[in-house]
Structure 1
Amino acid sequence: MRKKTLLSMAMFLAIGSTLFAQGNGLQGINDATNMVTSYFDPGTKLIYAIGAVVGLIGGVKVYGKFSSGDPDTSKTAASWFGACIFLIVAATILRSFFL
């Protein structure tokens, strides 16, 4: 008799906890989605700022190589320019993909 009572109490406890857990699931998912998407604007601006800093550093490096007469200046300029373009395109594509 005691085992039957314990088993029924455990079953009622399990059923009761699942009923409470199902009440706010959709609202929780919507809240999480809103929280994640709210980070995209500041993240995109941060990536643009990093791209601007990389562009300035690359411009200084290319100018230094050009002033010293290094024959490899065009390759360096292309690599720095490509890095800046990649950052800008990656930020734009990620933003359009997730929003």
Structure 2
Amino acid sequence: MMKRKILLSAVVVFAAASSALAQGNGLAGIQDATNMVTSYFDPGTKLIYAIGAVVGLIGGIKVYNKFSSGDPDTSKTAASWFGACIFLIVAATILRSFFL
């Protein structure tokens, strides 16, 4: 019984040590992950630009409606929608330049 426990313990230690030594430095895995993440930036940037264009169109329509109805806070609405569009474009550009 005691020999069996010792043998089983030795097998477990050997299996753990051999799998730990087989891992390597993980450089290939890190490189694959980097390639996967950087491959998403072009479509992501284009998606953010498209969202910015849609937000700009919606904002333009809302500002036009406020201007047509004579609402006094038209300039505030225009500034907020314009700021949102600029933020989306600048955020996409900065993220792209930061990570790539």
* TM-score for the superposition, normalised by structure 2: 0.90
Instruction: Report deviation, 1:85.
Output: 0.3
Q: State the AA in 2 paired with 1:85.
A: I
Does residue 1:42 correspond to 2:43, yes or no? yes
Which stretch shifts more, 13-22 or 46-55? 13-22
Q: State the AA in 2 paired with 1:58.
A: G
For residue 5 of structure 1, the aligned residue among 7, 10, 14 is: 7
- Mind listing any 5+ residue stretches in structure 2 that lack a counterpart? none
- The 5 Å alignment of 1:12-23 reads 12-22=14-24
Q: What per-residue deviation string (whole Å, max 9, x for no partner) do you get for residues 5-42 of structure 1?
A: 2222222111111122227x211110010000000010
Q: State the AA in 2 paired with 1:92.
A: T
Give every structure 1 segment of 4 or more consecutive aligned residues whose post-TM-superposition deviation is greater than 3 Å. Answer: none
CA RMSD of aligned residues (A): 1.3
How many corresponding residue pairs?
Answer: 98
**Map of 1:26 onto structure 2:** 27
Which stretch shifts more, 10-19 or 63-72? 10-19
Q: State the AA in 2 paired with 1:41.
A: D
Which stretch shifts more, 37-46 or 1-10? 1-10
Residues of 1 paired with 2:67 and 2:7: CA distance? 87
- Mind listing any 5+ residue stretches in structure 1 that lack a counterpart? none
Residues of 1 paired with 2:28 and 2:75: CA distance? 55
* Overall identity of the aligned pairs, in %: 80
